[in-house]
Amino acid sequence: MIIVIDGPAGSGKSSTAKALSNQLNIHFLDSGALYRAVTYYWILKGKPDQEKFFDLLPALDLNVDLTNNSFTVWLNGNDVSDDIRSSAVANHVSDIASLPRVRKKVNQFMRELVEQNTFIADGRDLGTAVFPDADLKFYMDASIEERADRRYQEMEASGHAVTRERVIQNLKERDHKDKTRDADPLKKADDAIVIDTTGKTFEEQVAEMAAIINNKLHINS
């Protein structure tokens, strides 16, 4: 079983999905971590051009460990869960994740993974491209100002020197890139439930979505 949450950057998808995973005792599928792992592999291979990288993809072996409701990512037999969070990976993950052959490989891995357990996942094209037959789909959104405030607070807490204006500009650029990319652009699935989190507390949005999940899928019944 798979529940998906799509939406633009800064809408609260990941934190909400993780909270729902803990509350409902289901697995969290971190699609972003998988793309980060592929990006880390690209860096390890010397940042080859697209065609050379595609030739290297068959040798890339992804795996995950779900013990204790974790999502530990393994790449060719090595735990890379910490390595994939580096700034070097973050600077390139959008470009690598947009490559059609990369998306095909990661998407196939995720489809096989969810055949074995119940998952909740967040992303940008999960309900449209990866899991069009998902058991339940959400599309989370919020005003650009609210999304920027959340991202700014996160970055400030992490010690990053950045202005709110720059955060807004980055989000606008990311939105445009996500919505106009050739491979699986960001858009709301026709059957997705829209959750607008503008003006809502984190606890309120989690409670709203948990109630919908329990009502429609009876996970805690």
In 3-state terms, what secondary structure has residue 119?
strand
Q: How far is Cα 167 from Cα 169, in angstroms, rounded to an integer?
A: 5
Cross-strand partners of 119: 2, 27
Integer Cα distance of 46 and 182 in angstroms: 26
The distance of Cα 102 from the centroid of its chain, to the nearest Å, equals 15
CB–CB of 192/139 below 8 Å? Answer: yes
Residue listed under structure tokens 């869960």: 81
State which fold the 2-217 domain adopts.
Answer: Rossmann fold (3.40.50)
Asked if residue 123 lies in contact with residue 189, where contact means CB atoms within 8 angstroms, the answer is no
79's enclosing H/E stretch is strand 78-79
CB atoms within 10 A of CB 74: 15
pLDDT digit string, tens, across residues 77-102: 999 999 998 888 988 998 898 898 99
What does the block give as tokens for 16? 């909400």
Radius of gyration, CA atoms only, the chain: 17
Q: What separation in angstroms does the CA of 57 have from each of 2, 62, 91, 95, 182?
A: 26, 11, 20, 16, 20
Low-confidence ranges of the chain (pLDDT < 50): 221
Report the chain's mean pLDDT, rounded to a whole number. Answer: 90
Domain parsing of the chain, residue ranges: 2-217
pLDDT 10s digits, 152-181: 887 778 777 778 888 888 888 888 888 887
